[in-house]
Amino acid sequence: MNLAVRDIRHSLGRFVLTTIGVGMLLMVVMGMGGIYRGLVDDALVVTRGVGADLWVVQQSTRGPFAEVSRLPRRVVDRVAAVPGVTDAREFVFHTIQREHRGKPLRMGVLGLGWPTDKGEGLPMVAGRVLAQNHYEMIADESLGLALGERLRLGKDTYTVVGVTSAMVSSGGDGIACFTSRDAQAIQFDEPGESVRLERQARRVRAGEIDFGRTQPSVLDRASGSSRAIVALPGPAVSAVIARLMPGADTDAVLRTFEGWSDITVYSAAQQEDLLLKGSVDRARRQILLFRVLLTIISAVIMALIIYTLTLDKLHPIALLKLIGAPNHVIVGLIMQQSLIMGALAYGVAYLIGQQLFPLFPRRVLVAGDDLLRLGAIVLVISVLASLLGIWKAMRVAPNEAIG
Amino acid sequence: MNDTLALQADGLTKVYGSGHTEVVAMRDASMRVRRGEITALLGPSGAGKSTFLLCVGLINPPTSGRVAIGGRPVLDGPRALVDLRRFRRENIGFVFQKSNLIPFLNAVENVQVVGELIGHPPPVARRRAIELLDALGVGARASNRSTQLSGGEQQRVTVARALANQPSLILADEPTAALDSVRGRQVMELFRDVAHQHGTGVIVVTHDQRALDVFDAIYQMEDGVLARAPALAQSECR
Ligand SMILES: Nc1ncnc2c1ncn2[C@@H]1O[C@H](COP(=O)(O)OP(=O)(O)O)[C@@H](O)[C@H]1O
Ligand SMILES: [Mg+2]
């Protein structure tokens, strides 16, 4: 005969209400853990999405995610020439916010290394990968773009040919993948008027220096396309990403780069580490502290209610002692109630969370490991919560049952 | 030690408090109860009757004196010679003035719990509990909680619980105080039958002079002094 269950039935209302309350708190604890996991996962989506083995950034910066990094574009060719590297390209990722169908559309623009990377590695749920060098995009489902939908970005129109899921930037915006050329075109899009004005200004600047006056052809060039002016560098890139040949020794390749004094190179693992230790780390600690607080609050609430439930049955406990019940029966009565409350609250947390978390604007990732860990924590706080009640019960003398 | 004795209490003295607040609730009290014998304990309020029962019931040990139950020495002054709680569980049954049922258990569970405490498997403990309730005429109320039972029914369930561990000694402190005289007498007769049929020693503290004829022996307590009432008085009562 289980005394704990029978006593719970006796004060069912209070027990159930408290359990639901504690369950909601645990749900928040669970959800906050999920938010953190979501953050981490989202932060890694871009780095994993581009499938780079190496990240080449400006010397002694921690770019391109943690801080600004600028590299001349020709680093791409230098990196590509290093033994062990299959291909290298510029890393293009930026966020844009445009109007679409009358609503603001924020998206992360990620450049894929066409033609070696057409998007095969992406978590596709519909459509296909990129099939041509231009004017196609693969959009995340969170952007709400349909297959075949056309989107004007800058001077060109892009067609959605594929849809992915869970491709979200660390800011929570859905990511759209383009060839890296298109992605750059979107990034550096300039209106025609601005280009004309710049050419005009360039001509004026060239006219003001000796070189311009003595070399008339320079004045002609200045009014033309930027590309035709050899002396001017192309737009800098934030990072160069490279892939290694299968079976290549990452450390050996990294050693080659050590001699280059204009860049710093990170392996994929190091880059992820930078991401997580940098921007996400403070969020992680912030969330962790909230979780600790909420867990303590849950434990205190449980302890109080188990304590009052115990106060309510001090007389029966004294009676049990009087008729000779050993202490473990009484400890069991109280601790089992606490454990039952903890277990049910955990169940409540899980069930409500399952319904609620998908409705949240950002990803709440409740993973198996975290569930297990929270389960263990609930077990511990259930035991701790029962201690106050047990302490009280142990101090009851059997003769308090009489009189 | 004599193992035909359910209870042998020798020279029990109980002092509550100390110094200025000292109360000598019981002085050199001795009693012998044979197996199968039912004994009444009479006396005015505050005489020390409950103190005596709590001492021999191993709940509140005496300041000095010795207690043996079922031939086994259990207390030497305040010193326990056995695990008192375990000894209570296995050898003593209690009935008190106010019904003392566990409110979150129903009638049969209140009895069953004792059987389980002494190690009977739940089905066995339950079967025995139902038998006891039937024997005491409250079998029909087995699944009622104590709040749904009348005072007399509650007291019967308590008696059933006191019997569930087949004790060698039953201690009852004014068990009929809350009952009318007819029900009170029924409970007293119940105790007598239990004593005679099961060979249990029974001590009943009572104020009820009308039911004294059911007892085999009568003790009187006054100002903490316990004395066996003269045989003459007993035969008069019969
Ligand atoms: N726990 C206690 N502390 C101090 N005095 C007590 C305590 N219990 C009983 N007494 C005193 O001991 C005396 C006997 O009490 P009790 O045994 O309850 O008498 P009875 O049961 O015959 O009415 C009374 O004077 C009572 O006040
Ligand atoms: Mg009394």
User: Does the beta carbon of B25 lie inside 6 Å of ligand 1?
Assistant: yes
- Above 60 in pLDDT, residue A298? yes
Distance CA A163, CA A145 (A): 8
Is A399 in contact with B60 (Cβ distance < 8 A)? yes
- Above 60 in pLDDT, residue A87? yes
How remote is the CA of residue A74 from the centroid of ligand 2, in Å? 102
Of A10, A11, A398, the CB nearest to B59: A398
Distance CA B34, CA B40 (A): 13
How remote is the CA of residue B91 from the centroid of ligand 1, in Å? 25
pLDDT tens-digit readout, A43-67: 888 888 778 889 999 988 887 888 8
For helices A368-394 and A279-312, give the axis angle rounded to 10 degrees: 30
Q: How far is CA B173 from the centre of its chain?
A: 6
Is A7 in contact with B104 (Cβ distance < 8 A)? yes
Retrieve residue A387's tokens.
Answer: 């201690």
Q: Is A148 left (phi over 0), alpha (psi -120 to 50) or beta?
A: left
How remote is the CA of residue B128 from the centroid of ligand 2, in Å? 31
Q: Shortest CA distance to A222 belongs to which of A246, A240, A209, A203?
A: A203
CA distance B157 to chain A (A): 14
Residue nearest to atom 21 of ligand 1 (CA): B50
Predicted local confidence at residue A234, as pLDDT: 58
- Above 70 in pLDDT, residue A293? yes
For residue A187, what is the enclosing H or E element?
A: helix A180-187
Distance CA B150, CA B139 (A): 14
CATH of domain B5-102+168-236: 3.40.50.300
Q: What is the pTM of this model?
A: 0.80
Kindly write down the DSSP assignment for every residue of A339-373, as one continuous string.
Answer: HHHHHHHHHHHHHHHHHHGGGSSS-----HHHHHH
User: Does the beta carbon of B23 lie inside 6 Å of ligand 1?
Assistant: yes
Pocket test for ligand 1, best of B12, B22, B50 (most atoms within 8 A of CB): B50
Of A319, A326, A402, the CB nearest to B102: A319
Per-residue exposure over A151-177, b if at least 16 CB sit within 10 Å of its own CB, e if not: bebbeeebebbbbbebbbbbeebbbbb
Query: Higher confidence at residue B232 or residue A305?
Result: A305
Distance CA A150, CA A157 (A): 6
Residues A99, A101, A107: CA angle, nearest 5 degrees: 45
Of A10, A322, A399, the CB nearest to B103: A10
Is B104 in contact with A316 (Cβ distance < 8 A)? yes
For helices A368-394 and A327-356, give the axis angle rounded to 10 degrees: 150
Q: Shortest CA distance to B165 belongs to which of B204, B125, B108?
A: B125
Q: How far is CA B8 from the centre of its chain?
A: 14
The single-letter code of the amino acid at B202 is: V
Q: Shortest CA distance to B227 belongs to which of B26, B19, B1?
A: B26
Distance CA B33, CA B8 (A): 7
Total count of residues recorded for chain B: 238
- Above 70 in pLDDT, residue B231? no
For an interface test with B, give the residue of A5, A309, A322, A328 to mutate (most B CBs within 10 A): A322
User: Does the beta carbon of B206 lie inside 6 Å of ligand 1?
Assistant: no
Residue where the block lists tokens 């020390």: B48
pLDDT-based confidence at residue A155 (cuts at 50, 70, 90):
confident
pLDDT-based confidence at residue A228 (cuts at 50, 70, 90):
low
For residue A12, what is the enclosing H or E element?
A: helix A12-50
pLDDT tens-digit readout, B161-196: 999 999 999 999 988 887 788 888 888 898 999 899
Is B104 in contact with A399 (Cβ distance < 8 A)? no
Question: Across-strand partners of A137?
Answer: A160
- Residues A213, A217, A221, A224, CA torsion sign: positive
Per-residue exposure over B101-135, b if at least 16 CB sit within 10 Å of its own CB, e if not: bbebbbbbbbbbbbbbbeebeeeebbebbbebbeb
How remote is the CA of residue A321 from the centroid of ligand 2, in Å? 20
Predicted local confidence at residue A230, as pLDDT: 55
Kindly write down the DSSP assignment for every residue of A80-102, as one continuous string.
Answer: HTSTTEEEEEEE-EEEEEEEETT
User: Does the beta carbon of B46 lie inside 6 Å of ligand 1?
Assistant: yes
User: Does the beta carbon of B47 lie inside 6 Å of ligand 1?
Assistant: yes
Question: Of ligand 1's atoms, which has the minimum distance to the CA of residue B21?
Answer: 4
Question: Of ligand 1's atoms, which has the minimum distance to the CA of residue B60?
Answer: 1
**Contact criterion met (CB below 8 Å) for B186 and B153:** no
pLDDT tens-digit readout, B83-127: 999 999 999 999 987 778 999 999 999 999 999 999 999 999 999
Distance CA B162, CA B171 (A): 9
Q: Would you tell me which residues 46-105 of chain B have a C-beta closer than 8 angstroms to some C-beta of chain A?
A: 50, 54, 59-60, 85-90, 92, 94, 96, 100, 102-105
Average pLDDT over residues A227-241: 69
Predicted local confidence at residue B237, as pLDDT: 47
Predicted local confidence at residue A67, as pLDDT: 84
Is A322 in contact with B112 (Cβ distance < 8 A)? no
Residue nearest to atom 6 of ligand 1 (CA): B16
Distance CA B222, CA B43 (A): 6
H helices of chain B, where?
Answer: 49-56, 84-91, 107-117, 122-135, 151-163, 181-198, 231-237
Mean pLDDT in chain A? 88
- Please determine, for the modelled complex, whether the ipTM score is greater than 0.90: yes
Predicted local confidence at residue A291, as pLDDT: 87
pLDDT tens-digit readout, A246-266: 888 888 888 888 888 889 999
Query: Higher confidence at residue A223 or residue A102?
Result: A102
Q: State which residue of chain B sits closest to A9, comparing Cα positions.
A: B104
CA distance B236 to chain A (A): 33
Average pLDDT over residues B140-155: 90
Predicted local confidence at residue B235, as pLDDT: 45
**Contact criterion met (CB below 8 Å) for B106 and A1:** no
User: Does the beta carbon of B73 lie inside 6 Å of ligand 1?
Assistant: no
Residue nearest to atom 25 of ligand 1 (CA): B46
Of B89, B125, B173, the CB nearest to A323: B89
- Above 50 in pLDDT, residue A106? yes
Predicted local confidence at residue A46, as pLDDT: 82
Retrieve residue A209's tokens.
Answer: 């220096």
Question: Across-strand partners of B79?
Answer: B76
Predicted local confidence at residue B238, as pLDDT: 45
Predicted local confidence at residue B196, as pLDDT: 92
pLDDT-based confidence at residue A330 (cuts at 50, 70, 90):
very high
Predicted local confidence at residue B33, as pLDDT: 95
Q: Shortest CA distance to B77 belongs to which of B22, B17, B9, B2?
A: B9
